[in-house]
Homo-oligomer: A and B are copies of this chain.
Amino acid sequence: MLSSEGRATPPTATPGRRGGRARRRAGDTGPTAAGAVRRRIPACELLDAEALAALEEQADWILTEIGIEFRGDAEARRLFAAAGCRVENERVRFQRGQAAEICATAPAEFTLHARDPRHSVILGGDHLVLMPGYGSPFVTDLDRGRRYAAIEDFRNFVKLAWMSPWLQHSGGTVCEPTDIPVNKRHLDMVHAHLTLSAKPFMGGVTAPERARDSIEMARIVFGAGFVAENAVMQGNINVNSPLVFDETMSGALRVYAEAGQCVCVSPAIFGGAMGPVTPAAIAAQTHAEAMAGIALAQLVRPGCPVVYGSFHNTMSLRSGALTFGTPEANLVTLALGQLGRRLGVPVRSGGGQITAANAADGQAMADSTSAMWATILSGANQVWHAAGWLEGGLTMGYEKFVMDLDCCGAMLKLVAGMAVTPETLTRESYREAGPGENFLSTRHTTEHFATANFLPGIAEAGPYETWAEGGRQGAEERANARWKAMLAAYAPPAIDPAIEGELGAFIARRKAAMPDEWY
């Protein structure tokens, strides 16, 4: 008499060897380890097998007939040519079915190790990993308004993500620390992830040497031997859609792949501009571009852990502005979950809690919630932009961040499913409280009341009268108090002072070796 299960979140799985240097000492403090979360409700199978085969056929046609350009990266082209692809100038054309074949060496699931092993996660299968927004140059809050993001903001969001039991991953460029020179930002960002948090993270990708620095810092913390054999970080490789990898991205991809670290390939298609306007075409093109990047990672190092990513949005027919959480984008999200599973690799959804809204208002949350439902039901394994996103990613909002955290917690409760057991059906309650009677004082309600329902972190609005007397605080205003309370309560996870010193020395050395660059 069991259902689609609904068991409680299992303990964090940490297969493989434990070890590393800081890892043994980390994790003495910190929030409840959410660890890997598993989806115990079925994914939405939007498309039937015939439609999925048509999308795969289209992707294969794109890769065979049109091809992908790897601009400025002769090594990438050499690898493809050696594998039997047709290379003309910068264009790489695959043979029929070849891209999927090369991708076949990618693992279906793998462990992404965290500094605190209790926060290690599995990517793939029915595992679910949520992380903050990525890449915003601005931040906003109700007190100070919208402004360029600084390293202080970056650190604040890393702290908030560390504290939330609903995010399993610290993210990457959670916002751009624009007060740090462009060529040195990656050092401070990776430092924040490695010291203010002990959850998995993403390293720098904006130049191959920045990718190398990121991996070097991970070696200091995890130990070089551990990093050589385990994935301890991810690098986000954006495709320069349509159908182009620039040399920065393919170069960084090769650095992560050579080091055996996780390569996330993220096509980025604005429907109608970087590809056709129709959802089917966007899904197929994403599939083609993602396969091309994953194939390159496998040619560099067969078996390299990868994530099949995507990013796509729609345009307003009224203004041409980018729009998010729309039904057309959500359909693409659902289809890509299916295509990624068929390819047999972990899937990062192009959804998350995304919106074009400028403030954490009703539009922001309607867009975000709709996109998040599509994302979760797509069966995606990793969800970027699960917290904080505003303005199409231009801005990370402090209030939006904690509003999204509540939505993440609710979604994680949903994916745990419904337990159908004698205890949850509780026949004895109906013997205690018959027709017309109140169940509040039954044994079952008393026992389960405190844990039965998901409890949001943001204060309730309360009844209308008290709410009106209290100044009619909207959700955004109530969220303002929440993130401040969280930051005030922040405590860093433990780290070996020797390791921390070594990290600091590495950063100082690297910063001293380069003049500041601001572009």
Chain A interface residues toward B at CB < 8 A: 1-4, 41-42, 44-48, 50-51, 54-55, 58, 61-62, 65-69, 71, 91, 146, 240, 242-244, 271-281, 283-284, 314-319, 321, 323, 326-328, 330-332, 334-335, 356-366, 368-370, 373, 377, 391, 394-395, 403, 406-407, 410-411, 413-414, 417-421, 423-427, 429-431, 433-440, 442, 444-445, 448-455, 458, 460-464, 467-468, 472, 474-476, 479
Contacts and interface: CB of A to CB of B under 8 A. Distances in A.
17 contacts: A3-B51, A3-B280, A51-B420, A146-B468, A242-B435, A242-B439, A272-B445, A277-B439, A277-B452, A278-B424, A278-B425, A317-B450, A317-B451, A317-B455, A326-B453, A361-B474, A366-B368
Given A361-B475, A366-B407, A243 B420 contact: no
A316 B424 contact: no
A463 B321 contact: yes
A331 B414 contact: yes
Contacts of A332: 418
Contacts of A431: 66
B427 A58 contact: yes
A445 B335 CA distance: 21
Nearest to A366: B365
From A323, A358, A364, residue with most partner B Cβ within 10 Å: A358
Contacts of A391: 464
A413 B328 contact: yes
A54 to B, nearest CB: 5
Contact of A475 (B318, B362, B369, B479): B362
A461 B318 CA distance: 12
Contact of A453 (B316, B424, B464): B316
A279 B425 contact: no
Nearest to A376: B373
B426 A281 contact: yes
A69 B435 CA distance: 7
A335 B217 CA distance: 49
Oligomer copy total:
2
Contacts of A331: 414, 417-418
B429 A281 contact: yes
B452 A271 contact: yes
Contacts of A472: 358-359
From A280, A434, A462, residue with most partner B Cβ within 10 Å: A280
Contacts of A363: 365, 403, 458, 461, 474-475
A55 B420 contact: yes
Contact of A361 (B284, B361, B421): B361
Contacts of A317: 449-453, 455
A454 B326 CA distance: 7
Q: Which 4 A-B pairs have the closest CB atoms?
A: A3-B51, A243-B435, A363-B475, A327-B413
A330 B364 CA distance: 21
Contact of A41 (B44, B418, B468): B44
B356 A242 contact: no
Nearest to A444: B276
Nearest to A450: B317
Contacts of A436: 69, 71, 240, 242-244
A124 B219 CA distance: 60
Contacts of A42: 44-46
Contact of A276 (B44, B377, B403, B445): B445
A425 B69 contact: no
A229 to B, nearest CB: 36
Given A331-B418, A366-B475, 9 more contacts: A3-B51, A44-B44, A54-B425, A61-B427, A243-B436, A278-B425, A314-B453, A328-B453, A363-B474
